[in-house]
Amino acid sequence: MKHEKPTMKKYYQLALVIISIVSVVSLLFYRHEYNRLRYVLEVLNFFGKPGQSISVTSECTTSFPDDASWTNPTPMWQRLTDTHYVYSAFWEEGQVKSVGVATTGTDPKFQCQLWYSQTNQSVPGKFGFSLTDSSEKRYDRLKHSKLFASHFYCKPKNGVGVPFGVEFYKTDELVPFKTFVAVYHAEEKSTVANSTVFCVAPAGTLPLQTSAVVEFLSYHRLVGVANFMAYDGGALTRISSALSSAKVAAGYDIVATFLPWNFPFSQREAGDAATAALQSDCLLRNSGRHRNVAVLAWDEYVVPRYHHHLGAMLDDFDSGRKTTARFEIPAVAFCSNLPDDVKSRKGMPLVLRKTHYVRTGGDEPPFHVYRPHVKSALGDPSLTTQRISQGIAALHRYVPCSAEDIASGKPALYEPAMLRFSGDLMKSAFLKSKKTLV
């Protein structure tokens, strides 16, 4: 009986140790669950906005490519002849449709043949040629040799499935030089509701600043755009690998892919033919993948005045008909060489510091958003165009204004629409990551 109390004391101590361990484990577990809940609330606060109507299948969940990729096979500019060049080829409605440019609008004397995986030899096809809609109108107006965006067609004479490649060559050569172009073909699938992809044209300056790219992606992710396809002429060499990494896709819900753009003419010679060819490739490559498709530059931002989600805004404008092939949004050129906004702070993105623009003599060309699933978007969209006023949305171009415009005495007009996004943009985790990307 003398030793009963010490023995009981040991049991009490053991029980206290066990209870302490259980308490610590429970505390750690609940702390982990609390942090997860707080993270979810932060994400909802960051992406969810009052009045923002996004369905479960909308771009709140990034639509990752489900086949090899947007860029497979990789396109490149190739010479067909001294007057015709080709960039990419697509299988569309029973024929191959290739994107190219030509220095003349006349129909070339070409022939074509198709290659199939089932056979080891080519199959002859029927060749066709056309200018893009914008180039055709310009050719009719100019009536002399310029640079025009064009399409080269090859239709199989016998239906034998989908080819993996096409060859074009001149018929009047004794030993014709044949140019092979790999054919892009995506399996049919339903278009993701509200999803938007922005194709970004090559930068005019080399190299492009990392901050400019990250600010562009961070802002447009705020307004519901998660997919970006950048055509790169060399300005993005340093950062393309980092931006297209799985870390960026998973951590920031941004899918960025890059296509080479070795355009065979100088920027001065290219004119609007390069832009028209790029747009044609962008529309064909994304048809059936995304509901809304647009081409813009790294210094251009689509800014809605009331909506927080671009897809929702476009759906509101097309809620009755669902047949709009193209939306036209006015553009405003903000002067990057005017003084910063008085309320801005050092270190803010350029788009939050420049809030004034000067009306120039020539109108800024409007910005267009296409819906490729509406078939006329791939042809002539002029019959089904919805025009959106500047009071609803505008494309902001951040470019230096000419000395003549600034010194003309015209008042600098204040446009604060971008500032409504300043709080969320400054809190963007991806924007804060720009110093670690390279």
- Please report, for the domain that includes residue 331, its CATH number: 3.90.550
Residues 148 and 205 in one domain: no
> What's the pLDDT at 120?
75
> What's the pLDDT at 138?
52
Bridge partners of 162, per DSSP, are: none
> What's the pLDDT at 124?
92
Last-in-domain residue among 157, 184, 211: 184
Specify the pTM: 0.79
Q: Assess if residue 326 is contained within a domain.
A: yes
> What's the pLDDT at 313?
92
Q: How are strands ordered across the β-sheet holding 393-399?
A: 300-304, 393-399, 331-335, 356-357, 413-414
> What's the pLDDT at 18?
80
CA 112 to chain centre: 32
Residue 287, domain extent: 194-436
Residues 152 and 271 in one domain: no
Cβ atoms within 10 Å of 42's Cβ, excluding its own: 12
Exposed/middle/buried for 291, CB within 10 Å: 0-12, 13-18, 19+?
buried
Q: Assess if residue 25 is contained within a domain.
A: no
Residues 131 and 213 in one domain: no
Residues 412 and 303 in one domain: yes
> What's the pLDDT at 216?
96
Last-in-domain residue among 184, 211, 237: 184
Residues 328 and 426 in one domain: yes
Q: Assess if residue 37 is contained within a domain.
A: no
Residues 140 and 212 in one domain: no
- Can you give the C-alpha Rg of the chain in angstroms? 28
Block means of pLDDT (10 residues each) for the chain, length 438 residues? 58 76 67 46 37 37 46 89 95 93 88 88 91 62 70 88 92 81 79 83 81 95 95 87 85 92 88 92 90 94 94 84 85 89 89 86 80 73 82 92 71 89 93 79
Q: Domain tally for the chain?
A: 2
State the CATH number of the domain containing residue 140: 2.60.40
